[in-house]
Each structure stands twice: as structure tokens, then as C-alpha cells.
Amino acid sequence: MLSLKGYQIIINRPENPLLIKELLKQKNKNIQFLKKDIKIFLEDIENKIINFDKGINFLGDVIKNKKKIGIIGDYDADGTIATSIIVNFLKHINYPHCYYIPNRFKDGYGPSQTIIEEMYNKEVEVIIMVDTGTKANIEVALAENLGMKVVILDHHLPSEDLPNASILINPHINGHFNYFCGAGLTFIFFSKLQKFLIKNNILNKDNIFLFNDLLDLVAVATVCDFVPLKDLNRSLVYYGLEKIKKNPYIAFKIIYENNPSNNINDASDLGFYIGPYLNVAGRIEDANMVVEFLTTKDIKKLNYYFNRIKIMTAERKYLQNKMIQKIEMNIQNTNDIFIANEEFHEGIIGIVASQMKQKYNRTSCVISIKDNICKGSMRTNDNFSATDFIEMALKENLLIKGGGHARAGGFSLKKKNLDLLENYFYKYGNNFINSIQNIFVSSILDFTNINEKIYKEIHQIGPFGIENEEFVFLFPFLRINNFFLLQNKHISFYLKHFYKSKSIKALYFNFPMKLIYKIQKNNIIHLIGNIKYNKYFYINIIDIVVTNIN
């Protein structure tokens, strides 16, 4: 079934001055939405987020009295960037500190009692838990009992029982600015903390740290953590993109120089080209090296850490492909995909589940097994809610713990419950066998009218992401002039208009091979997707990125 949403045909009027207003209308936005002035959103943030102002005063007093600070972050891109923001600032003002990112395999998720004891042994007086800590009740209590004060800067959903920290700052507690990722919250908080320190003569105004130099880090974290791109988040990503295009952060410059074909034009490129390098260490080895990579200016060290990350990236790709091959050899003829294996790497199951869901358009659950504990990751179709499934499985005592959101989730369980969970998974999925997944498009677009002006006009509404989704267009009556299979999983098309001479290039990433019969030279097809700049031999060309084919 194909549904057309906001059916606005711009075939004959590619320079229609009403286009931007019509597209905004589809999103229930007005022309003010296009403004991205960060100051608009910062005016009352201290009054809107509980303990924000109190936290600034508290850490201002800590820094005034030169109490040693220890930072505990998370091992994903958001957590390592949030930690790096604090470390960069404290390094700049020559302040005593240390940090630790939990090791996924040794420490598990979040602060542990062992980590708290290590902080104590290092004579830390104040612990800052960043992008973590909201549910670390036991660890916070231990730290406070040992005489250390705990400040929590986190954005994860809290439970009813909050940790008894000296300062707990989480926008979800009262619902204001609850769209921040950990790095975004940290960036705003420490920017305001520096102003407080200067105003109160704790920090010399001649020693100011330029937080705007970290805008591209914040943009990457915001995109990689899949938080809503609205209001202040949208502004941060917009200016972060502007910065990375003109003057990238030194670590990102190293990544770019080693991947010159990478073309960063919009928000999704940040997650596609940069995010994997920041996530891989936490998936494969130890994410502490990512903080080192993001906080050093020494070129030798930068290259050293990048080379280590690059090796891990190659290993991740190898393991990922190996896992996918094993899944495809054992995939069952079912409506959804559920597979568990002792050879699966727990740091990669999320990526593989996402790729299987995209490739086969089936809810996918991939599970690693180690000893008697299984860890799973799932990506779901529109009608299958990951959170509902996990909550119901928890109530059935099939899982140890789990969580997520509608389209993605993670969980752990005992090996003895694996068969029971598999049966429950298929039983739950059977509720949606006959449900229809609608494809919504914003408009029909004749690609012969695509030009740079149209592209820029559409992208005024960006950056695109969660809660500001990219516009999807229907491109009708395209003739396949030629096509190529790339890396055995992507399709590159060369297309011509059915009755016009103009041609265009299109890319379909992770093409569902069951549709390969439609891809024949001279076939007439209809594509659904969006338009994007791509770089070919250092020349930017507008082409179509395909999401569906008919």
C-alpha cells in the first residue's frame, strides 16, 4: 500500500516560492522554525532544569577550593564526547582531574562499585557522572558514604527511586529540555559554569575556554544518540555542521584526512562517517582511548589512537560480515528474525540487528551467548514495539533486564530461558502478520527539476533527524539505464526519465535482494527516497538516495 502525505506536486514549478511554506506546513511549523539562534533557547534554561543553577554554584565552589574531580562516562559516542568536553575544559584551566569509561566486558554498563573504589583510591573528592548515573543508586550511595560528593549530568529516563547524589541534573525529572543527549547537556552546563567562574573571579577571563570549538563534537553526539533534532538540539547540530565543514575539530580532521572521499553535508553524514570511529572502541575493546583521542592535540598521539581505532573498525566490519553470513545461512522462513549464537560478539549485535531489519524489512532480534548469560539487541518494524515486547517479557520473567524505545531495544536473559523467549517473540510478532505497513511520502518530485536551489530550499528545514524527519519524495517513471552491485549489498543506478533525456544517479544502500528481479536494464521503476549531495571525484552532485522501490 502506498499513501501520499501532503500531496504537493512541484513538477512544473521547481522554483515555487511557496515550497518552503508548504513543506513547513506538513510539519506543523511556521517560518520561525527556520531560525537557529542558540541564544533564544538559553535564556531560561537555568530556571527550567531542576538543580541546574544549584549545580553550577556547587561545582563553582568545588573548583574554587581545588577539589580533585573524577569523571565517569559511558562507552558510546555520546558518553565519550560528554566526558571529553569536561576533560578538555579542565585541562585548559590546568585543574586536577581523572576520568574512567566503564569497559563493556569487564565492568558492564554504568558506574560499578569497583570504579567508585578506584576513584576513592585516586583521592577524588567529587565525582561527575556524565551520560550515566540516574539509576546508579547503590554506587552513588557508596561514593557519598566514602566521603566523595557526586554530581550527575544525565539524560536517561529515571525510575521513581532517584539516587541520593549531592547534585542530580536530569531534564527528564521535570520534562524541560528533555531532548538533550548527554554531551549536549554537558556542553550547555559547562559553558554556563565557565561564565559563573569568570563572573565570581574564580577563573581569569584571559584564560577563557572556547566551547564553540567543540560544537562539531556536540553535533556528532546528538546525531549518534538518536535524540530529537528540535529547538536547541537542532541549533547545536546546525552550527556543528557549519563548523565541521569549515574548521573541523582536530580529531575529526584526522578522520577526514584518512577518508578523503567522505562527504559531510548533513546530519546523517555525522553518524555515518564519524560515529562508527567513536563507537567502535567501546564495542570491541576499551572506550577510554576515544577520550584520549578527543582530548589530545599531539599529532603523534592523534595518529596513534586513530590507527588503533582504524584496526578495530576493520575487525568490527569483519565480525559484522561474519555474523551476517551465519545469520543468512540459518535464517528461517518466518515473518521476523530471531537468532542466537555463541560466536556472536555482544558489542556488534545491535549493528547487525539494524542491518538485518533494513535488508529484509523484518523485525530482527540478534543474541550473543556467553556462559549462561545471553545479551540481545532488536530492531523493529512500525507495528512491532520493542519496548512493549521487552516490558511484557520482563513481566513473564523471561528477561533479567531490558529497555529501549519503540524501534530498538536491548536486554539480557539466562540461557535456560532462550527457547521460551524465542517462542514468545514469534507469538508476539504473529499479532502483526496481516497488518499493512504504510509508506508515506511528502510530495511527488520530477527529478528533471532538481537543482541546487531546490536542494538548498528543502534543506533550510534541516538538519534532519528524529522528530524532524527528512522529506521523502516519490520519483515516478524512471528508466534503468544501467546499474551496479556495490560490496554485494548496495545498488548504484543510472536512470533516465521515461520521456525526457535528462539522467540522474541513485543509490540504494543495503538493497533487499529479494527485489533484484525488478532491477533489469530498461525497466521502468518508481523510486521513493530523498535527494542528497554526494561527492564523485571531488565534485558534489545531487542524486537520489533510495528507501523503497516499486
Assign domain 44-304 to its CATH architecture.
Alpha-Beta Complex (3.90)
Helix (H) or strand (E) holding 491: strand 490-497
What is the Cα–Cα distance from 296 to 312, expressed in whole angstroms?
A: 20
Shortest CA distance to 495 belongs to which of 509, 484, 510, 486? Answer: 484
Same-fold call for 3-27+439-549 versus 336-430: no
For the chain, the domains span: 3-27+439-549, 44-304, 336-430
At 474, is the secondary structure helix, strand, or coil?
strand
Output the CA–CA distances (angstroms, integers) from residue 226 to 162, 405, 426, in the order listed. 24, 11, 27
* Cα–Cα nearest to 313, from 268, 344, 282, 352: 282
Distance of alpha carbon 107 from alpha carbon 533, whole angstroms: 42
Beta-sheet strand order (sheet of 408-414): 337-341, 364-370, 373-379, 408-414, 401-404
So what's the pLDDT on residue 16?
Answer: 47
pLDDT for position 542: 83
Residue 263 burial by CB count (10 A; 0-12/13-18/19+): exposed, middle or buried? middle
CATH numeric code, 336-430: 3.10.310.30
For the chain, 550 residues long, give each residue's pLDDT as a single digit of tens.
Answer: 344 333 333 333 333 445 666 777 777 777 677 778 888 777 778 788 999 999 999 999 999 999 999 999 999 999 999 999 999 999 999 999 999 999 988 888 889 999 999 999 999 999 999 999 998 999 999 999 999 999 999 998 888 899 999 999 999 998 889 999 999 999 999 999 999 999 999 999 999 999 999 999 999 999 999 899 999 999 999 999 999 999 999 999 999 888 876 778 899 999 999 999 999 999 999 999 999 999 999 999 999 999 999 999 999 999 999 999 999 888 877 788 999 999 999 999 999 998 898 888 789 999 999 999 999 999 988 778 888 899 899 999 999 988 777 778 889 999 999 999 999 999 988 876 655 556 777 778 888 878 888 888 888 888 999 889 888 888 888 999 999 888 878 899 889 887 777 888 999 988 877 778 888 888 888 888 988 877 665 666 888 999 888 7
Query: What is the rounded distance in angstroms from the CA atom of residue 76 to the CA atom of residue 309?
Result: 14
Question: What is the rounded end-to-end Cα distance, in angstroms, of the chain?
Answer: 11
Task: Specify whether the CB–CB gap between 411 and 402 falls below 8 A.
Answer: yes
Q: Under 8 Å CB-to-CB from 419, ≥6 apart: which residues?
A: none
CATH class of the domain at 3-27+439-549: mainly beta
| Alpha-carbon gap, residue 267 to 256, rounded angstroms | 16
